[in-house]
Amino acid sequence: MAPAVRQADGMAVASFVLGLVGLLAMNLLLGPASIVLAALALRRGTTRPGRARLGLVLGVADLVVLACLVSADQTWSWSIG
């Protein structure tokens, strides 16, 4: 496997993981990072395009969750209690 493809596969997996974690914590940072990594992985021709697309969707979902939180209680983070 070529190093560029291996790197793109790593970006696809990282995008998925960051998008998933971003739903729970730090969605302001992890959402855009997930979107960028997914776009780079798809552009570089990853052998895992499904994982990259899922990372892209999760990154967008992170930003949607953030928008809902901000509109609901005017905060940029989760609040417990």
Question: Smallest Cα–Cα separation from 56: which of 69, 40, 72?
Answer: 40
Q: Give the DSSP H/E element, type plus range, for residue 81.
A: none
pLDDT at 76: 65
Q: Report whether pLDDT(2) > 90.
A: no
Residue identified by tokens 């960028």 is: 36
Mean pLDDT in the chain?
A: 89
- Kindly report, residue by residue over 47-72, the tens digit of the pLDDT: 999 999 999 999 999 999 988 888 88
pLDDT at 25: 85
Alpha-helical regions (H) of the chain: 3-22, 27-43, 49-73
Give the confidence band of 12 by pLDDT, cuts at 50, 70, 90: very high
pLDDT at 3: 81
